Amino acid sequence: MARRRITAAQARERRSKKIAIGLGVLFAVVCAVQGPKLLKELHPKRAAVPPPASTTVGATSTAAGAPAAPAVSRQLQSFSLLPLKNPFKPLVKVTAPVGGATGGSAASKRKTSEPAPTPAAKPAPAAKPGATVTPTVKFTPTPPNAALIKTNGRREVVTVGGGFPTGQPRFKLVSLAKNKKGVRTGIKIGVLGGSFVAHAPTVSLAKGHKVTLADQADGSRYVIELVRLTTAAPQPSSSSAPGTST
How far apart are alpha carbons 54 and 75 in whole angstroms? Answer: 16
pTM summary value: 0.40
149: closest CA among 141, 139, 159?
159
Question: What pLDDT digit, counting tens, does each position of 150-161 carry?
Answer: 999 999 999 998
How far apart are alpha carbons 226 and 208 in whole angstroms? Answer: 6
Residue 162: which domain range?
Answer: 146-230
Does 28 map to a domain? no
Does 164 map to a domain? yes
At 156 the pLDDT is 93
Does 179 map to a domain? yes
Question: Do residues 164 and 223 touch, judged by C-beta distance below 8 A?
Answer: no
Question: Residue 49 — pLDDT band, cuts 50, 70, 90?
Answer: low
Question: What pLDDT digit, counting tens, does each position of 160-197 carry?
Answer: 989 998 888 889 999 988 877 878 889 999 988 877 87
How far apart are alpha carbons 61 and 213 in whole angstroms? Answer: 149
- The answer, yes or no, to whether residue 2 has pLDDT greater than 90, is no
Give strand ranges (E) for 107-206.
146-151, 154-159, 163-164, 171-178, 184-191, 203-206
Does 183 map to a domain? yes
Q: How many domains would you assign to the chain?
A: 1
Residue 44 vs residue 24, higher pLDDT: 24
